[in-house]
């Protein structure tokens, strides 16, 4: 980088840096970084499709333990526990933050129970009825997000018929 | 070029601008103009610092697609390179990275509306299954043969752990550091996609051998609103 020593006066000791190359470099770097910048923070949620290569011992084990099944419908969210037959329905009316908040509280309570305190598995299914009454992908993601948040990290996605415990009206 | 004392350059040395100079001098005004560059340099420094902080050297895994707005979630983990099943408002496609080519290959599979109107009874989308099965076989063979030209060393190490029945290595946040690419796929779907389509895709992927699915999301610190 060039520097001008003095300004004509022999006694002057002022040094003025030439900042033009610095500005050039900064401009190039800014242009490059703006082009390559990642503006959206993309991440992932992982899950395992339920039902693959399940050996008989695994199925028997599933039958012996209580399985938590979550079914999302356009108007309700069901939490059903197999074997003991307990079920809870959350109405999907009003503010989504309210009913998803209820869902989170229910899952957190279940996680503290003796059946699930040392387990992290959960079954998840969604059931759309028609084009007008459908469950959208965002609902599934929120359910998975909340399940992971409450400690159910091993999520198996299936359809309504694949659930171990289905809600009964 | 000789080193000159710093000072105004316009109209005198490097930037003569004779036609403008003639107009300025005609009005009897001083022709020396000194721009204050300090705020400009300050702004550039802040911008460069910010852009360096958000810079990602790991490359782009997911691309933006027309008619696809990703869902938001608060939980997050890093994405990994894998075949991508893309579901937009209208179309289901698969994006496969050919290891011998720099460009990924995009294949259209089905139209969303026709699948919803005539859902397959076994919940298996045949065209998708065909492509996924071929992709799975190719990746599976690479993993089995330990082909480190197509699969990274960290991923091969993750596969060895998986085969030995060991749990995957987690990072400091508790997320899986590297997934074994054998049976790993990414689902990138529009947030308004019908859950029936997602069910069919998950079922088809499972039947093709993909038993580890990563759902691409847009990170948001807030939950449902």
Do A121 and A66 reside in the same domain of the chain? yes
**Per-residue pLDDT tens over the stretch A72-131:** 999 999 999 887 878 899 999 888 889 999 999 999 999 998 888 888 888 899 888 877
Do A77 and A146 reside in the same domain of the chain? yes
H-type alpha helices, A8-52? 20-36
CA B117 – CA B113 distance, rounded (Å):
6
Do A23 and A63 reside in the same domain of the chain? no
Decide if A145 and B219 are in contact by the 8 Å CB cutoff: no
Do A65 and A109 reside in the same domain of the chain? yes
Q: Are A89 and A76 in contact (CB under 8 A)?
A: yes
Is pLDDT above 70 for B100? yes
**Per-residue pLDDT tens over the stretch A27-76:** 898 888 888 776 656 666 666 666 433 344 444 455 678 889 999 999 99
Do A27 and A75 reside in the same domain of the chain? no
Decide if A29 and B5 are in contact by the 8 Å CB cutoff: no
Q: Which residues between 110 and 129 in chain A have a beta carbon less than 8 angstroms from any beta carbon of chain B?
A: 125-128
The one-character DSSP state at A160 is G
* Distance from the B202 Cα atom to the nearest Cα atom in chain A, whole angstroms: 6
Do A22 and A88 reside in the same domain of the chain? no
| pLDDT of res. A133 | 84
Q: Are B123 and B224 in contact (CB under 8 A)?
A: no
Q: Which residues of A fall within a CB distance of 8 Å from B216?
A: 42-44
Decide if B191 and A96 are in contact by the 8 Å CB cutoff: no
Do A86 and A21 reside in the same domain of the chain? no
ipTM tops 0.85: no
Decide if B77 and A128 are in contact by the 8 Å CB cutoff: no
Domain that holds residue A32: 3-36
Q: Do the strands A87-91 and A121-126 form a parallel or antiparallel pair, or are they unpaired?
A: unpaired
Q: Which of A29-33, B8-12, B24-28, B68-72 has the weakest average pLDDT?
A: B8-12
Q: Are A92 and A77 in contact (CB under 8 A)?
A: yes
Do A87 and A158 reside in the same domain of the chain? yes
Helix (H) or strand (E) holding A89: strand A87-91
Assess if residue A41 is contained within a domain: no
Q: Do the strands A15-17 and A121-126 form a parallel or antiparallel pair, or are they unpaired?
A: unpaired
Assess if residue A136 is contained within a domain: yes
CA A39 – CA A33 distance, rounded (Å):
11
Is pLDDT above 70 for A1? no
* CA A138 and chain centroid, separation: 10
CA B189 – CA B216 distance, rounded (Å):
8
- Structural domain count, chain A: 2
| pLDDT of res. A54 | 38
Do A98 and A136 reside in the same domain of the chain? yes
Decide if B217 and A141 are in contact by the 8 Å CB cutoff: yes
Assess if residue A42 is contained within a domain: no
Is pLDDT above 70 for B13? no
Do A59 and A128 reside in the same domain of the chain? yes
């Amino acid at each position: 980088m060039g520097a001008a020593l003095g300004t004509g006066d022999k006694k002057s000791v002022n040094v003025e840096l030439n900042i033009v190359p610095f500005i050039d470099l900064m401009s190039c770097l800014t242009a490059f970084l703006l082009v390559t910048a990642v503006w959206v923070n993309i991440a992932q949620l992982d899950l395992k499709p339920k039902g693959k290569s399940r050996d008989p011992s695994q199925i028997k084990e599933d039958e012996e333990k209580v399985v938590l099944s979550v079914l999302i419908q356009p108007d309700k969210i069901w939490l059903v526990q197999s074997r003991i037959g307990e079920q809870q329905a959350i109405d999907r009316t009003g503010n989504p933050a309210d009913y998803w908040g209820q869902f989170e509280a229910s899952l957190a309570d279940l996680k503290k129970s003796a059946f699930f305190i040392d387990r992290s598995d959960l079954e998840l299914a969604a059931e759309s009825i028609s084009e007008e009454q459908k469950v959208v992908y965002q609902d599934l993601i929120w359910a998975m997000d909340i399940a992971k948040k409450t400690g159910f990290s091993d999520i198996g996605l299936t359809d309504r018929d694949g659930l171990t415990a289905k809600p009964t009206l | 070029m000789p080193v000159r004392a710093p000072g105004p350059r316009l109209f005198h040395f490097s930037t003569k601008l004779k036609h403008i100079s003639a107009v300025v001098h005609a009005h009897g005004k001083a022709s020396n103009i000194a721009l204050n560059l300090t705020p400009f340099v300050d702004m550039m420094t802040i911008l460069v610092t910010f852009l360096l902080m958000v810079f990602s050297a790991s490359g782009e895994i997911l691309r933006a697609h027309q008619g696809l707005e990703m869902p938001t979630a608060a939980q997050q983990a890093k994405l990994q390179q894998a075949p991508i099943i893309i579901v937009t408002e209208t179309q289901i496609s698969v994006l496969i990275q050919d290891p011998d080519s720099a460009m990924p290959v995009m294949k259209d599979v089905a139209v969303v509306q026709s699948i919803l109107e005539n859902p397959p009874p076994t919940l298996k989308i045949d065209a998708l299954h065909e492509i996924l099965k071929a992709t799975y076989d190719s990746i599976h063979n690479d993993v089995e043969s330990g082909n480190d030209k197509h699969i990274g060393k960290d991923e091969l190490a993750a596969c060895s752990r998986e085969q030995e029945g060991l749990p995957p290595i987690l990072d400091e946040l508790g997320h899986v550091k590297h997934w074994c690419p054998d049976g790993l796929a990414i689902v990138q779907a529009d947030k308004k996609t019908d859950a029936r389509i997602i069910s069919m895709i998950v079922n088809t992927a499972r039947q093709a051998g993909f038993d580890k699915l990563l759902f691409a999301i847009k990170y948001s610190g807030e939950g449902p609103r």
